């Protein structure tokens, strides 16, 4: 209580966020109980207390489903590719921006790289569809000029995942670099000056000073990213995919949407979502333990 009184102004500032998470994130968790019931929507909220209990039937049904292997493999594949290519991208951009000596040019680069973050996926997907259109798209027009055949990128299983990864990096790279730039700015300049006197090159300073200096924030960011490994990006995929690419694009979230909302199988959809959350919690815990094992800062 003494701590609350001492920092009451900070707690008051955090209060709206706390209330938001309680109302929209914690209270709805009561509804998770329908994952173990045959929930009847006709009963309304009373159905949570009156529906028949079936235990782990829906979770077992998901694991035995014909679609389980497809949606699980697609989710892991897409999230894994986003992690492999998307995680280092903001780090590289932050280092590049840090190396720019012209402050005016540096601010321009930062502003341009941040801009896509503020565009909704609806707008980004519209731009992607316009650029990659098989008839009027800029990319296919260039291919035609070079004597190549046009490609239906969004309808081709071969190219669809590449479009997902590249568009996700383009949208998130600038915003993701902010935390790394802040961490780089906290590194003591005297270390760089000492390295310069010793004859270190720019690359050597980056490798031996900058990267170790932001290692802790990289580890924390990696833990959070691995925790979201089963979140392959519902909104992006939902707006871009079509039945033609279901075999490479159908993920757990889109499957839950079709089963839970479109087919009104609320109990089954909730069970699948709960299973996904439990796996994500296990991944975060495992990664956090590994971080402690290697004597780096962890989340807890």
Mean pLDDT, range 227-253, rounded to an integer: 89
Q: Are 168 and 78 in contact (CB under 8 A)?
A: no
279: containing domain: 65-293
Residue 30 CA to residue 43 CA, distance in Å, equals 16
Contacts of 292 (CB under 8 A, 6+ apart): 298
CA 110 to the chain's CA centroid: 21
User: 175: pLDDT confidence band, cut at 50, 70 and 90?
Assistant: very high
256 domain residue, yes or no: yes
**Number of compact structural domains in the chain:** 1
pLDDT digits (tens, 9 = 90+) for 96-137: 998 888 888 888 988 899 999 999 999 999 999 999 988 888
What is the spatial distance between Cα 244 and Cα 228, in angstroms, rounded to a whole number?
A: 26
In-domain check, residue 86? yes
> pLDDT tens, 31-90?
888 899 888 877 777 777 778 888 899 999 999 988 899 999 999 999 999 999 999 999
Q: Assess if residue 9 is contained within a domain.
A: no
Q: Is residue 53 part of a domain?
A: no
Q: Which CATH number do you get for residue 267?
A: 1.10.3720.10
Indicate whether 236 belongs to any domain. yes
Residue 275 lies inside a defined structural domain of this protein: yes
Task: Give the pLDDT score at 6.
Answer: 80
pLDDT digit string, tens, across residues 2-42? 667 788 888 889 899 999 999 988 888 888 888 998 888 77
In a domain, 173, yes or no: yes
Is 39 contained in some domain?
no
């Amino acid at each position: 209580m003494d701590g609350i009184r001492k920092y009451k102004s900070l707690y008051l500032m955090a209060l709206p966020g706390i209330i938001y998470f309680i109302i929209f994130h914690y209270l709805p968790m009561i509804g998770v109980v329908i994952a173990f019931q045959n929930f009847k929507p006709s009963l309304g909220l009373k159905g949570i207390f009156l529906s028949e209990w079936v235990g782990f039937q829906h979770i077992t049904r998901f694991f035995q489903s014909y679609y389980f292997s497809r949606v699980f493999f697609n989710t892991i594949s897409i999230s894994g590719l986003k992690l492999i290519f998307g995680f280092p991208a903001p780090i590289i951009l932050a280092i590049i921006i840090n190396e720019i000596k012209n402050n005016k040019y540096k601010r321009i680069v930062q502003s341009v790289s941040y801009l896509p973050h503020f565009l909704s996926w609806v707008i980004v997907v519209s731009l992607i569809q316009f650029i990659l259109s098989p008839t009027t798209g800029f990319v296919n027009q260039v291919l035609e000029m070079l004597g190549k055949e046009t490609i239906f990128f969004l309808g081709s299983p071969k190219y669809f995942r590449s479009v997902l990864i590249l568009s996700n990096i383009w949208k998130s790279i600038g915003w993701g670099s902010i935390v790394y730039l802040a961490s780089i700015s906290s590194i003591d300049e005297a270390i760089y000056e000492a390295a310069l006197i010793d004859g270190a090159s720019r690359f050597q300073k980056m490798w031996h000073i900058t990267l170790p200096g932001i290692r802790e924030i990289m580890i924390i960011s990696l833990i959070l990213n691995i925790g979201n490994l089963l979140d392959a990006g519902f909104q992006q995929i939902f707006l871009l995919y079509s039945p033609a690419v279901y075999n490479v694009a159908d993920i757990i979230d889109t499957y839950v949407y079709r089963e839970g909302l479109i087919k009104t199988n609320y109990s089954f959809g909730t069970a699948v979502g709960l299973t996904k959350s439990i796996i994500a919690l296990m991944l975060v815990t495992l990664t956090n333990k590994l971080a402690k094992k290697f004597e780096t800062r962890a989340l807890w």
